[in-house]
Amino acid sequence: MDLRFGDGKPTDEERAAVDALLGPPESSWEGADRSDADLRWARGGREARDRRDQLLPALHALNDRVGWISEGALDYVCRRLTVPPAEAYGVATFYAMFSVRPRPATVLHVCTDLACTAAGASRLCAAVESRLGPESGVKVERSPCLGLCERAPATLVIRAGESARPAFEDEAVQAEGGSGGAAPGGGNGKGRRGRNTLHATAICAPATPDRAIAAATAPESAPTEPAPETAVPQTGDPNLTLLHRIGTVDPASLDDYRAHGGYTALRRAFDLGPAAVIREVTDAGLVGRGGAAFPTGRKWQATAAQPDHPHYLVCNADESEPGTFKDRVLMEGDPYALIEAMTIAAYATGAHQGHLYLRGEYPRALARLTHAVEQARTRGLLGDDVLGQGYAFDIEIRRGAGAYICGEETALFNSIEGRRGEPRSKPPFPVEKGLFGKPTVENNVETLVNVLPILTMGAEAYAAIGTPTSTGPKLFCVSGTVARPGVYELPFGATLGELLALAGVRDNLRAVLLGGAAGGFVRPDELDIPLTFEGTREAGTTLGSGVVMAFDDTVPLPRLLLRIAEFFRDESCGQCVPCRVGTVRQEEALHRIVDRTGAGAAGDITLLREVGRAMRDASICGLGQTAWNAVESAIDRLGAYE
């Protein structure tokens, strides 16, 4: 593809997809037919440049409608937004869910990551690929984690087209106004509206070859997506704090949410005032639940104190760590809780615009959240006067497109702004210069939802849950070879053995992976590790985002480690040399030793240690810094290659 403006022209369908998002072009400078007036002066350049953040939604619009992004379509988007074609091409090729080459309208994504690998994903892939040839009109793509680990192996079918509708779309959502309409745009805080088109036709999990092929070729007979409470084995337990509404409250009904305590926390926040809300969060000891464990109150206070305005709030819902699916369950089962929590966080930090960055592989969560935002706005819970308090706040849902690195906060900001999702150097930190160069507070879904019980029960009562240094409840994503996989809620301080007992661990347990691909393995005789940030750190591992994957002795550990290495190689953004080169060298070494053990592997293991240290010490972000963790722990704790 030429990296300058070429001679390619968009088709009528491609033009319609872009115009539906951006509106019709106002002059030939933006792609309209040339007029005499346009020859005399240039119009719209400043406004178009100010819409650079609409590049990712525009690429989604094309991909959703046509299935791929042609040269002519990309040129048209570049003219509409005055983005250099070379830069737009770099963005379009950055994301795994986009294609700049022709492909069928239907794509079947088959997860090949850790939980699915343990459940036989390789056999599933081979069977599906052998039966779905080019004549089927379906492209089969091997995919990283789809966030459906409790129902492994998993597949996701995406069908492009204007009229495509998800097979799992809720009738209740449709009845209350539809789930695929407009969502607030708000780029640069100006309140524009973009369109989140729903295009996924089926999720099939657990998948068999017959069910996956039926979902891809016969959407009318696609299996129905299970309710989110099926992922919560503790559903109905009266002691639950974060999960207590899932399975009890209709996620499409705002009235049902309010009848079960919804918006009590927001009303108390307005009674307390921003400074007191931050003080409550600080006194509760809430730390980030995404893995970094940074004190939430300190982050909020630092953002609120910045004199530069506007301030922004970003909810990081791009949970792409293999084995993580708790945020998906919260968004699908209790979407209004996240909307309320975002409103409280924005009020406390002086933000009036929120951005919810959602994984592109979560179509059901998109449906539920889009509907929840629309209902909250209609009922005065979002907009210019929230709850009649004179406070203005609105939320834009921005879809990701398959990039693990966008879970890093500054990479996420770049993605929203219409740039490649590459991490930024720090300082300056996001609380000073974040989204659009303005003070920004960023939290993940679980962290934000914890704010609700802090305000309803009080900081002191919340801090009494867990341990003195790790307070409150914690969600754990348990998958792998257990009898009852799913999301579990336990207070900090419960042991790994207690959690696995709830999930039904098998007698032939071989290893447990904590923290996902970026985490570390522990042995079956280490199940007394307390599940706290400090407890796992003292044990030489990490809690991370709460991933707990159990593997019995039927799972080939060397192949699992190779899959981890392949994952990091694929997901490295390539910006820094230690990660770009190191992840490739790590995978190459593991390929060489995967079928060898003992002395034959000693040289490659030495090389792995050197490469791992270089990545950990010199990579610009957490991806490269943690890419060696799981392999190192498997070598040192499990003797994986002995």
- pLDDT mean over 38-60: 78
Three-state SS annotation for 320-351: CCCCCCHHHHHHHHCHHHHHHHHHHHHHHHCE
Residue 218, pLDDT score = 79
Judged against a pLDDT cut of 50, whether residue 180 lies above it is answered with no
Residue 543, pLDDT score = 92
Judged against a pLDDT cut of 60, whether residue 166 lies above it is answered with no
**CA–CA gap between residue 34 and residue 501 (Å, rounded):** 70
Residue 194, pLDDT score = 46
Question: pLDDT by residue (tens digit) across 332-354?
Answer: 999 999 999 999 999 999 999 99
**CA–CA gap between residue 491 and residue 479 (Å, rounded):** 19
Judged against a pLDDT cut of 50, whether residue 178 lies above it is answered with no
Q: Where exactly are the structural domains of the chain?
A: 12-92, 106-221, 231-463, 473-552, 557-638
Judged against a pLDDT cut of 90, whether residue 361 lies above it is answered with yes
Look up the CATH architecture of domain 473-552: Roll (3.10)
Per-residue pLDDT band for 506 (boundaries 50, 70, 90) equals confident
Residue 174, pLDDT score = 40
Return the CATH class of domain 106-221. alpha beta
Residue 221, pLDDT score = 60
**CA–CA gap between residue 230 and residue 291 (Å, rounded):** 25
Residue 640, pLDDT score = 85
Q: Which of 406, 438, 424 is nearest to 56 (CA)?
A: 406
CATH superfamily label, 231-463: NADH-ubiquinone oxidoreductase 51kDa subunit (3.40.50.11540)
Q: How far apart are the first and last CA of the chain?
A: 48
Comparing 192-201, 322-331, 530-539, the range with the smallest average pLDDT is 192-201
Return the CATH class of domain 557-638. mainly alpha
Residue 34, pLDDT score = 66
Looking at the chain, the whole-number percentage of residues with pLDDT higher than 70 is 89
Per-residue pLDDT band for 199 (boundaries 50, 70, 90) equals low
- Residue of 558 and 179 predicted with greater confidence: 558
Neighbours of 95 (CB within 10 A): 21
Residue 183, pLDDT score = 36
Residue 615, pLDDT score = 96
Residue 229, pLDDT score = 82
Per-residue pLDDT band for 42 (boundaries 50, 70, 90) equals low
- pLDDT mean over 248-253: 96
Judged against a pLDDT cut of 50, whether residue 170 lies above it is answered with no
Torsion of CA 415, 416, 418, 422, to 10 degrees: -20
Looking at the chain, the whole-number percentage of residues with pLDDT higher than 90 is 79
- pLDDT mean over 184-209: 61
Residue 26, pLDDT score = 79
- pLDDT mean over 364-392: 96
Judged against a pLDDT cut of 90, whether residue 502 lies above it is answered with yes
Mean pLDDT of the chain: 89
Per-residue pLDDT band for 220 (boundaries 50, 70, 90) equals low
- Whether 450 contacts 242, CB under 8 Å: yes
The single residue listed with the structure tokens 């088709």 is: 11
Comparing 279-288, 347-356, 385-394, 506-515, the range with the smallest average pLDDT is 506-515
Contact partners, residue 305, CB within 8 Å, separation at least 6: none
Per-residue pLDDT band for 325 (boundaries 50, 70, 90) equals very high
Judged against a pLDDT cut of 60, whether residue 192 lies above it is answered with no
**Token couple for 293:** 């464990």
**CA–CA gap between residue 499 and residue 522 (Å, rounded):** 14
**Token couple for 615:** 């990545």
**CA–CA gap between residue 386 and residue 376 (Å, rounded):** 9
- Whether 579 contacts 615, CB under 8 Å: yes
Per-residue pLDDT band for 601 (boundaries 50, 70, 90) equals confident
Residue 191, pLDDT score = 41
Question: 106-221 and 473-552: same fold?
Answer: no
- pLDDT mean over 162-184: 43
**Token couple for 97:** 């869910």
- Residue of 177 and 554 predicted with greater confidence: 554
- pLDDT mean over 211-237: 83
Judged against a pLDDT cut of 60, whether residue 196 lies above it is answered with no
Judged against a pLDDT cut of 50, whether residue 172 lies above it is answered with no
- Whether 85 contacts 4, CB under 8 Å: yes
